[in-house]
Amino acid sequence: MSRYAKKTDRRPYEERSFSVRAVHRERADLHKLAEVLIRLTLQETGESRAAREAARVPDTYRAAPDAPGRH
């Protein structure tokens, strides 16, 4: 059996970015607007959380456990 070969040049999800392009319509598509707003918010929240965690100094330190049988 052969290995799976990727057939597209898609980027991994982490490398994707979303953009918004204006399309003028009589009525706004509130479902699409809400979905885009939620995705952008989640993306921004993840990026800011990762930055905060990387800059945070651990507030506790746990030493490595002793070898089994030692007290």
At 69, the pLDDT band (50, 70, 90 cuts) reads low
The amino acid at residue 22 is A
d(CA 18, CA 38): 12
pTM over 0.85: no
* Type and span of the H or E element at 53: helix 30-55
Domain segments of the chain: what residues?
A: 28-53
Q: What is the DSSP letter of 26?
A: S
The larger pLDDT score, comparing residue 8 to residue 29, is at: 29
pLDDT-derived band of residue 13, with 50, 70 and 90 as boundaries?
confident
Quick check: 16 and 46 in contact, CB under 8 A? no
Q: What pLDDT was estimated at residue 67?
A: 58
pLDDT digits (tens, 9 = 90+) for 23-68: 888 888 899 889 989 998 988 888 888 888 888 777 776 666 765 6
- In this structure, the number of other CB atoms found within 10 A of the CB of residue 16 comes to 9
